[in-house]
């Protein structure tokens, strides 16, 4: 079976109802052969929606039952994807998934039919609805997500969304309405490699926990952090480590010197040795963080390779809202999971101060800094798709 690229559109209503995490959990867990290749938030323009509808209209099925659904989807797009009466666009999450026979597997194993065939198994079983009155007329339709039916249509649809990706996607500013005069903040959440690697459902569950804050996702991106990015991202931590671990270095020096010699080691000598070792020790601890986030030991990686994408996968999200930084930090929990409050992300899933599920910015200023380091606004969809066109 060929390695393919498939797409999923998480609908505005699904996002609004904070079902994004649940959908992601199913997308990543229902088929072990599918991997998340890319993600980006869109605020679709009228032109994008119209071109997408036209592509779907050209693919209407000859089968009456399927044909009815095709027309329902087109009408749904006109009502739910078009900018509102005030001209404000909607939020749509665009995901790219790769894997063997990805389009068919996504359609049959993960998303499922609009017409319910099972209970609670697929995305649409749980989050979609098709309700008819006693005469058989459709009175409510919510497909939860939109996908392509065939690999050929997937390629056409992806090309349409790529065409508008520079103008209609990125970090969505001014899309979500807020009370007049409200002090709106943006903050970064980065779901760490341990979360994505250990459980195919955990990423979605973590996003569901952050949904309790009432904040809005305005950007999303799959990140393969380079060594250079990780070193800049965690640079403030490196300076902190020098003094944070100074006492531990001093104790280890005293114990090591005392065990090596039969006479008492003067405190002045211990202090001198510890002073020489506290910076190398901080660099070693710092290198462990960089390696955890990138899969590469910075001190064993040539500087010429520091800007190459790392071996680990993270998922970055930008949240918007009133007091966004404090709300996300509270829901994340203490850096040390053993000290985190109940029902917080790190209490539920963290293991220690490094393997602690996710990172969140600690101030609006640091959020801006971290978002810039990770190039969240940069459009990487074209690069991802290009790899499958070679």
Instruction: Please state the three-class secondary structure of the chain as a single string.
Output: CCEEEEEEEECHHHHHCCCHHHHHHHHHHCCCCCEEEEEEEECCCHHHHHHHHHHHHCCCCCCHHHHHHHHHHHHHHHHHCCCCCCCCCCCEEEEEEEEECHHHHHHHHHHCCCCCCCCCCCHHHHHCEEEECCCCCEEEEECCEECCCCHHHHHHHHHHHHHCHHHHECCCCCCCCCCCCCCEEEEEEEECHHHHHHCCCHHHHHHHHHHCCCCEEEEEEEECCCHHHHHHHCHHHHHHHHHHCHHHHHHHHHHHHHHHCCCCCCHHHHHHHHHHHHHHHHHHHHHHHHHHHHCCCCCCCCHHHCCCCCCCCEEEEEEEEECHHHHHHHHHCCCCHHHCCCCCHHHHHCCCCCCCCEEECCCHHHHHHHHHHCCCCCCCHHHHHHHCCC
- Which residue is listed with tokens 């005392």? 258
User: Is residue 304 scored above 80 in pLDDT?
Assistant: yes
Q: Residue 118's pLDDT band (boundaries 50, 70, 90)?
A: low
Q: pLDDT digit string (tens) for 265-301? A: 899 998 998 889 989 988 998 999 999 999 999 999 9
- Quick one: tokens of 280? 């190398």
For residue 357, the model assigns a pLDDT of: 87
Residues 344-361: what's their mean pLDDT?
86
Cα(297)–Cα(191) distance, rounded to whole angstroms?
A: 20
Q: Please list, in sequence order, all residues whose beta carbon lies within 8 angstroms of the beta carbon of residue 13, skipping any fewer than 6 positions away.
A: 80, 142
Q: pLDDT digit string (tens) for 14-34? A: 999 999 999 999 998 887 789
Question: Of 135, 157, 186, 359, which residue is the catalytic one?
Answer: 359
- Which residue is listed with tokens 């399927």? 66
> Is residue 359 among the annotated active site residues?
yes
- Which residue is listed with tokens 């119209």? 50
For residue 343, the model assigns a pLDDT of: 87
Q: What are the distances in angstroms from CA 346 to CA 122, 195, 217, 335, 367?
A: 28, 11, 20, 7, 20
Give me the chain's average pLDDT, please. 93
Residue ranges covered by each domain of the chain: 1-169, 230-305
Residues 49-63: what's their mean pLDDT?
95
Q: pLDDT digit string (tens) for 183-214? A: 999 999 999 998 888 778 899 999 999 999 99
Q: pLDDT digit string (tens) for 121-170? A: 799 999 999 999 999 999 999 999 999 999 999 999 999 999 999 999 99
User: Is residue 1 scored above 60 in pLDDT?
Assistant: no
Q: Please list, in sequence order, all residues whose beta carbon lies within 8 angstroms of the beta carbon of residue 239, skipping any fewer than 6 positions away.
A: none
Q: Please list, in sequence order, all residues whose beta carbon lies within 8 angstroms of the beta carbon of residue 252, skipping any fewer than 6 positions away.
A: none
Closest CA to 160 of 44, 246, 255, 67: 44
CATH 3.30.70.141 fits 1-169, yes or no: yes
């Amino acid at each position: 079976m060929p390695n393919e690229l498939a797409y999923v559109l998480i609908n505005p209503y699904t996002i609004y109802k904070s079902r994004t995490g649940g959908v992601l959990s199913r997308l990543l867990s229902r088929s072990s052969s599918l991997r998340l290749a890319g993600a980006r938030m869109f605020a679709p323009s009228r032109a994008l929606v119209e071109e997408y509808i036209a592509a779907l209209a050209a693919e209407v099925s000859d089968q009456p039952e399927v044909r009815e659904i095709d027309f329902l989807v087109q009408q749904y797009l006109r009502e739910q994807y078009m900018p509102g009466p005030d001209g404000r666009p909607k939020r749509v999450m665009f995901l790219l998934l790769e894997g063997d026979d990805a389009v068919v597997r996504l359609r049959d194993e993960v998303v499922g039919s609009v017409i319910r065939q099972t209970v609670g198994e697929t995305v649409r079983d749980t989050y979609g609805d098709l309700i008819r009155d006693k005469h058989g007329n459709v009175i409510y339709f919510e497909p939860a997500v939109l996908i392509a039916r065939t690999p050929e249509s997937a390629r056409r649809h992806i090309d349409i969304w790529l065409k508008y990706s520079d103008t209609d996607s990125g970090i969505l500013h001014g899309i979500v309405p807020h009370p007049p005069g409200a002090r709106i903040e943006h903050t970064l959440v980065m779901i760490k490699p341990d979360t994505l690697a250990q459980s195919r459902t955990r990423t979605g569950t973590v996003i569901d926990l952050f949904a309790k804050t009432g904040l809005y996702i305005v950007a999303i991106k799959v990140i393969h952090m380079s060594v250079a990015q990780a070193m800049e991202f965690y640079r403030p931590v490196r300076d902190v480590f020098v003094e944070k671990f100074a006492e531990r270095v001093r104790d280890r020096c005293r114990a090591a010197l005392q065990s090596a010699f039969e006479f008492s080691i003067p405190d002045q000598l211990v202090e001198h040795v510890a002073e020489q070792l506290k910076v190398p020790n901080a660099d070693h601890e710092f290198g462990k963080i960089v390696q955890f986030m990138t899969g590469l030991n910075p001190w064993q990686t040539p500087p010429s390779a520091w800007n190459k994408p790392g071996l680990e996968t993270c998922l970055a999200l930008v949240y918007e809202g009133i007091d966004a930084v404090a709300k996300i930090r509270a829901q994340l929990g203490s850096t040390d999971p053993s000290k985190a409050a109940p029902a917080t992300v790190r209490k539920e899933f963290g293991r220690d101060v490094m393997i602690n599920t996710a990172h969140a910015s600690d101030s609006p200023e640091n959020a801006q800094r971290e978002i810039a380091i990770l190039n969240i606004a940069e459009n990487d969809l074209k690069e991802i798709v290009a790899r499958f066109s070679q």
